[in-house]
Amino acid sequence: MGPVTYRTYHQVTGEDRSRAGVQVKAQHDRVTERLEAVRRVVAVMSGKGGVGKSYVTSWLARAAAATVRVGVLDADLRSPTVARLLGAKGPLRVAESGVEPSIAADGIAVFSTDLLLDEGQPLRWRSSVGAPFVWRGVLEAGALREFLSDVAWGSLDLLLVDLPPGGDCVTDLYQLVPSLAGILAVTIPSDEAQHSVARSLRAAQGSDTPILGVIENMSGYRCPGCAGVQPLFAGAAGQTLADEFAVPLLARLPFRPLGDGPGPEALAPAIRAVLGKA
């Protein structure tokens, strides 16, 4: 018997009978349709955990909600905190139009895996019969897609997406939301944070999404006695990043031990940036 040859996939004519590609496109189309009524989608990212990104996201959401309609999607599936910070609670109502988000303080629409998990339980996926291994990355990407397409966000002026640490997540989000309006980067003053956030911003630059600016959190600590501000960390990561990427340093926020937000004037430049009014 001589050598066997095969036609390749692209040599087989006719329609793709598996229709898998059609279904994947339909999934992405549903994201686009759902977000048509959302004026701006802005991603909030950092290079590392512990910089207070979710706190900053919740402060921005509350400040913006004073004048516009705001939603927050907590895309940090494994370490969700936004629902708790904004006082969002379940259960979530499933209607014909989709899953209704939780309406939290100040009328902010919120969706987070924190609303789906038992208290203190980690994110886990069910393995199917005969396959104890779970395709976690694929499932998490699918979950993010459904959070965008199947939550009935309604008509919003601003949807903030609180991303997990790292820059790859921006690329994943951009593939689902090509109309992504911009990225806001959160850092703390330390050199270590600066290097980590810079690496993530370079990764995010591959998505062609504009970097709206940098927010430096925990810039210092305000003494309750004399109101003087002392540094918590050595370094000036916020300004260094703003200079390197030619974007504005939108805010330098002092450490707030109670987690309450800064005054609206401290966030005004950042609010203007995320609303496209800078």
Looking at the Cβ atoms of 154 and 235, the one nearer to other proteins is 154
Q: Which residues have C-beta within 8 Å of that of residue 46, sequence separation ≥ 6?
A: 53, 165, 185, 186, 187, 196, 197, 200
Options 68, 103, 105, 139; binder of other proteins; rule CB under 8 A: 139
CB of 56 closer than 8 Å to CB of 85: no
Residue 112's SS3 state is: coil
Query: What's the min distance (Å) between Cβ of 119 and other proteins?
Result: 9
Q: How far is CA 4 from CA 1, 7, 11, 226, in A?
A: 8, 10, 16, 84
Footprint of other proteins on 197-226 (CB under 8 A): none
Among 124, 155, 192, 231, binds other proteins (CB under 8 A): 124
Q: How far apart are CA 185 and CA 211, in angstroms?
A: 8
From residue 257, alpha-carbon distances to 197, 225, 260, 267 in Å are: 23, 15, 8, 18
Q: How many residues bind other proteins (CB under 8 A)?
A: 47
Stretches 53-61, 63-71, 94-102, 264-272: which one binds other proteins (CB under 8 A)? 94-102
Structure tokens at 137: 């990355």
Stretch that binds other proteins, among 48-56, 109-117, 234-242, 251-259 (CB under 8 A): 109-117
Q: Which of residues 5-24 bind other proteins (CB under 8 A)?
A: 12, 14, 17-20, 22-24
Residues that bind other proteins (CB under 8 A): 12, 14, 17-20, 22-24, 27, 30, 90-96, 98-99, 113, 115-118, 121, 123-131, 133-135, 138-139, 142-143, 145-147, 150-151
